[in-house]
Amino acid sequence: MAMMVQEPAKRESSDFAPLLAVNDLVIRISIEGGDSVTAVRGISFSIAAGESLALVGESGCGKSMTALSLTGLLPRNGRVVQGTAFWSGRDLLALPADALRRVRGRDIGMVFQDPTSSLNPVLTIGQQLTEGMREHRRIPGWARLAKAIELLQLVGIPDPETRLRSYPHEFSGGQRQRILIAMAIACQPRLLVADEPTTALDATIQAQIVELLKGLQKRLGMAILWITHDLALVAGLVDRVAVMYAGLIVEQAPVRDLFNRPRHPYTLGLLNSMPQTGVGLQATAALKFIPGTPPDLRATTLGCSFAPRCSMVLDRCRTEQPARVAVAAGHESACFRAGEL
């Protein structure tokens, strides 16, 4: 690997008390014909106050479903069938709808990946920015308006007093994403879930959004759960990375350890498929890729889901599902050959 990643600044150990603890989460999606697909297959992870954790993997691996389940926003054909998600001593997955609404937006904010469909086209930006404050904070109208102006300034929208009266179509894609971020942090949540927040943006705007969220995290002291398929995006950005494949977390590690010493063939494949840049590298060099395609989750898998695509596969990989075990301090891998990587 040519890419080396610096470790984020160390936090005091007291800062790592779990803010959110997810255990053995299983999500099923109903499909046509009465069948169902197990989109998330028993994953566990935790996030500490002020920490950044990235869930990384190819499209369809269960990242977004995991995030949506935490706030009760699964699609109608999706349901949690097993697991817990403890937040301040309460299981989010067991809360009644009204109680979960009080958590969503106030304690947990969400930035969705498509700002075009996430903003209401018939309401002004001001109306949408102040809705959460009106619902959760119960502050006077003049204070909500002042806060909305402050939020637009914070996320870099010029002339905020005037733009509060504008509608979503009057903003660029990057500006709409900034507005979504402003809405998500309006009630100063303790956790921000950022679900592919830069997917539809060009590289320059992507970098601006990432820097904006980094700055907001430092300023507000909130934790961030990043959902992304782009490993390069999270390098030097998060504290820890959890790599998902076919509904499972196959590797989890501090970001520096994951980049500098991956311990799962799928993670290694993702890292090797990243474009390499630098002096002496040929611009025309072919990109590496992981052969094959992700498995059909409708089919029953006996062994490791990655076995059909893995260059290090053993016979036992096709019949046994490897457990996720510790391979180093804070580093876990679900691979029989983790020690050889």
**One-letter amino acid of 95:** L
Looking at every residue in the chain, the average pLDDT score rounds to 88
Strands 248-254 and 90-91: unpaired
Strands 223-228 and 191-195: parallel
The pLDDT, as a whole number, for residue 277 is 60
Rounded percentage of the chain residues whose pLDDT exceeds 70: 91
Q: Which of 46-55, 138-147, 161-170 has the lowest mean pLDDT?
A: 138-147
Which CATH entry fits the domain spanning 17-107+189-264: 3.40.50.720, 3.40.50.970, 3.40.50.880, 3.40.50.300? 3.40.50.300
- Both tokens of 50, joined, read 């002020």
Identify how many contiguous H helices and E strands the chain contains and give both numbers.
11, 12
Residue 69 scores a pLDDT above 70: yes
The pLDDT, as a whole number, for residue 31 is 86
Rounded percentage of the chain residues whose pLDDT exceeds 90: 63
Q: Helix H segments across 88-140?
A: 97-103, 115-118, 125-136
- Both tokens of 243, joined, read 């790599």
- Both tokens of 199, joined, read 């997917």
Q: How confident is the model at residue 278 (pLDDT cuts 50, 70, 90)?
A: low
Helix axis angle for 173-184 and 141-154, nearest 10°, is 130
Give the domain ranges of the chain: 17-107+189-264, 115-188
Distance CA 217, CA 90 (A): 24
- Of the candidates 70, 51, 85, which has an alpha carbon nearest to the alpha carbon of residue 223? 51
Using DSSP's 3-state secondary structure scheme, residue 269 falls into: helix
The pLDDT, as a whole number, for residue 285 is 60
